[in-house]
Structure 1
């Protein structure tokens, strides 16, 4: 299974926000520059993360984005389930498969996908940054104010 770029980028945004000192706000341009990702694409992602209540977005002076919840309350499995439109590993219907009535592969892959999500459900955003926060800060050059 491979996550979409959309979900990958969303997890990068959340990782970035998880290492920012609590209470600090950042702007999307900073994240776009640090990861070398499309600003336009990140704006859509951050907007959706805001709709889902994962990040807080504020416009204007003193605005920016920040996590709406503590990193230990943001479950990775839930984030992936919210952002991925389709977790099916294969599509048996677009180009109809001749063996579909007798095939067991789709069921096996569905079980594997459930195991994937269950594993992600065991981790939070805090787990991504707890042991390597200082290294992430260095890599993202967060102490360099733009």
Structure 2
């Protein structure tokens, strides 16, 4: 399975927020840190905010922060939110047309594989990947 760049940067942004949970990060600051357009990062943060994963506040001392502790944010939930409009294969999308639909054994297997992938991510939290552990670099210095 391949995740979109949108999800990749969303996960990176969340890891960065988790590295300093009491601090608000501006989208401009995060965009510069990741070498990403501010507009693109703003869309990511907005989707995370609509899902209740982050909170945002404008003005001085504002920015994006985690809406709840990182150990309460499941990676599977994050991926579901950020990948919500991305079908694994064309036939999963509303527009997907398949001439062998009804006889295809691949679609069911791919759905089960996708569900297993997300279920595995559900076993991990943002805290599992964002907090520094012995022998690993901190997110802030990576």
TM-score category (smaller protein): 0.7 to 0.9
Distance 1:95 1:78 in 2: 25
Report the TM-score when normalising by structure 1: 0.84
**Do 2:25 and 2:64's aligned partners in 1 also have CA atoms closer than 8 Å?**
yes
- Does 2:103 correspond to 1:102? yes
Alignment of 1:1-146 (within 5 A): 1-20=1-20, 22-86=21-85, 88-92=87-91, 96-130=97-131, 131=133, 134-139=137-142
Consecutive unaligned residues in structure 2, runs of 5 or more? none
CA distance 1:78–1:102, change in 2 (3 Å) = same
CA distance 1:38–1:120, change in 2 (3 Å) = same
SS for the counterpart of 2:23 is: coil
SS for the counterpart of 1:65 is: strand
Alpha carbon RMSD of aligned pairs, Å? 2.0
**Do 1:87 and 1:113's aligned partners in 2 also have CA atoms closer than 8 Å?**
no
Consecutive unaligned residues in structure 1, runs of 5 or more? 140-146
The size of the alignment, in residue pairs, is 138
- Runs ≥4 residues deviating over 4 A: none
Report the TM-score when normalising by structure 2: 0.86
Distance 1:106 1:126 in 2: 33
Distance 1:95 1:83 in 2: 20
